[in-house]
Structure 1
Amino acid sequence: MPLTQRLTHLAQTLQFAWFVGHVTLLLSTLRYGLSYITFSYASRWAQVTYRTAFLSATVTYGIVVYKAYRARMRQGKQGGALAMAADENVQYLGMALVWLFSRQIPLAILPFAVYSVFHVATYTRGNLLPTIQPPQQNTAASGARPKPSALSEMIGKFVKDYYDSSMTLVAILEIALWFRVLGSGLLFQKGSWILLGIYTVFFRARYAQSSFVQGAISQLTARVDAQLANQSTPPAVRQGWGTFKNIIQQAADATDVRKYVGGPSGAGGPKKAQ
């Protein structure tokens, strides 16, 4: 088919709408970041781009959740509310809606933007580039594996080299975001304690499902332990840190859903929200 027909056929798919959503999220993030750097984050443009970013996130994760739900229906599988709540994409869809209607917290955009970078890269390599420049007919007819273009190889190398470190970055950003929301709660900003409760439930689910989050928390805890092990640290500070860790550990144990549903208690493998 001619290029225009190939692109039209690609644009009619639901997955292309998902791709456009991620591209829009990245563009909105860049535009909002520019407003933040220039201290104009209270301007109308900044507010529009902030909301557009989370509206795009809602659309992209909504598409993934819809496709997964439709696939289960075709297979005759009836997932309960608990099974849906355990889906990472449902969790991110819920948080995107929460951030969409909450006051602006710039840090909240960054985890979604990091995911979007890899989704855009993967879709470009696997769908967009083959549509623009499909394999030659003689290569396809001979059954030989088509050689990827230089751009495709570069994208593939980028995803392979930086995926794990970027997921660790997402985990660190989500930890920092929890403390950011906690700070708003301590300042008694309007609705901050409700937001803290919602985000804590989300983050607890992330901890249960993502080895990247578990690793980031372990590293953070080890660094604080090493800093407080210094003899110059007041005993009251060390005791307070130990109490804080015990409270967090007890809360994590009490909210481990797998204990109540009979699931495995081991750490889950790396998860990839879409």
Structure 2
Amino acid sequence: MAPAPNPNLPLQERVLALVQTLQFAWFAGHVTLLFTTFRYALSWIRMNYYTRMAQFCYRTSFVAAALTYGIVVYKTQRARAKTGAKAPPSALGLLSDENVQYLLLALVWLFSPQYPLALLPYCVYSVFHFATYTRANLIPTISPPKNAADGASAAAKVKTDSPLAAQIGAFVKEYYDASMAVVSGLEILLWFRVLFSAILFQRRSWILIVLYTAFLRARFSQSTHIKNSFAQLGARVDALVGAQGTPPAARQVWDVVKNASRQFVDITDVSKYIGGAGPAKKTS
């Protein structure tokens, strides 16, 4: 995260210096996503989600999501080039970057039929990025503490002295892990929603289920939250099929599903094909 502008400058110059950064464009993308998602939610509640405004907000949300992740991917690659680090050895290596995955998925949703549930994970992420940027950059720029020599010291001092910054920090610390667990559950639920569309042979659903399954498989290898959510789901189904009165056929079907899932996870283990390189973690 770039430091806030020099607190010794006038407010207008501090704000101007802040908005001219690429990081601010990233922040603006998250703000746009939150606003358009909220506006689309109002249309969805009123069952007007195919009006021009609703469709505009829905598509704009994913444009904003693609923008934010695109900026992070660009900055990552630029930093890699400046430090002389080697580029990913293959396309699989590049695709193992979670930011690339979320960027590509945003583009997939952008050009797919509407799936309102797909907006929620991006929206949750944007809430925390909005909060973090506000605490680290906006507050030190608008109301810098006294006796701060530069942007970095102003940001550090604000985090300890500003009541609002302290509240934001407490919010992020308290709710981040729980929110990531919710996101994982939403992403799994979305897979079943897309599968249902594929069973009904809805438009582009079979292409979408393949692409989203690949995304979710990659998330499974990188996210402990996704693994925990799948483990909890498996435990609940085990309890249901293990209850008295459950038909033996249901237990057999569940055993087949579990075995097929394990084989799928093993076959699609990307680390086998990229030399065991660890995946790049998501920063956007």
Give the deviation of 1:263 after TM superposition.
1.3
Give the deviation of 1:135 after TM superposition.
1.8
Q: Deviations over 1:27-70 (max 9, x none)?
A: 01100001010110111111000000000001100000000011
After TM superposition, the structure 1 = structure 2 runs for residues 49-198 of structure 1, keeping only pairs within 5 Å, are 49-77=57-85, 78-80=87-89, 81-137=91-147, 146=157, 147-198=160-211
Give the deviation of 1:259 after TM superposition.
2.4
Equivalent in 244, 248, 257 of residue 270 of structure 2: 257
Cα 1:273/1:234, change in 2 over 3 Å = farther
Percent of aligned pairs with the same residue?
57
Mark the runs of 5 or more structure 1 residues left unpaired by the alignment.
Answer: none
Q: Distance in 2 between matches of 1:191 and 1:110?
A: 21
Mark the runs of 5 or more structure 2 residues left unpaired by the alignment.
Answer: 1-8
Q: Deviations over 1:186-239 (max 9, x none)?
A: 001121111100001111000000000000100111011111111111111111
- One-letter code aligned to 2:29: G
- One-letter code aligned to 1:211: T
Q: 3-state SS of the aligned residue for 2:75?
A: helix
Q: Does the Cα contact within 8 Å between 1:24 and 1:53 map onto a contact in 2? A: yes
Q: Deviations over 1:91-124 (max 9, x none)?
A: 0000000001111000000000000000000000
Count of aligned pairs? 269
Report the equivalent of 2:46.
Answer: 38
Q: Does the Cα contact within 8 Å between 1:35 and 1:41 map onto a contact in 2? A: yes
Structure number with higher relative contact order (C-alpha < 8 Å, ≥ 6 residues apart): 2
Q: Deviations over 1:127-175 (max 9, x none)?
A: 10001111202x659x997342111000000000000000001100000
Give the deviation of 1:264 after TM superposition.
7.2
Q: 3-state SS of the aligned residue for 1:83?
A: helix
Q: 3-state SS of the aligned residue for 1:261?
A: coil
Q: Distance in 2 between matches of 1:42 and 1:190?
A: 16
Give the deviation of 1:262 after TM superposition.
3.3
Q: Distance in 2 between matches of 1:114 and 1:148?
A: 27
| TM-score of the two chains, using structure 1 as the length reference | 0.94
Structure 2 residue 253 is matched with structure 1 residue 230: no
Report the equivalent of 1:204.
Answer: 217
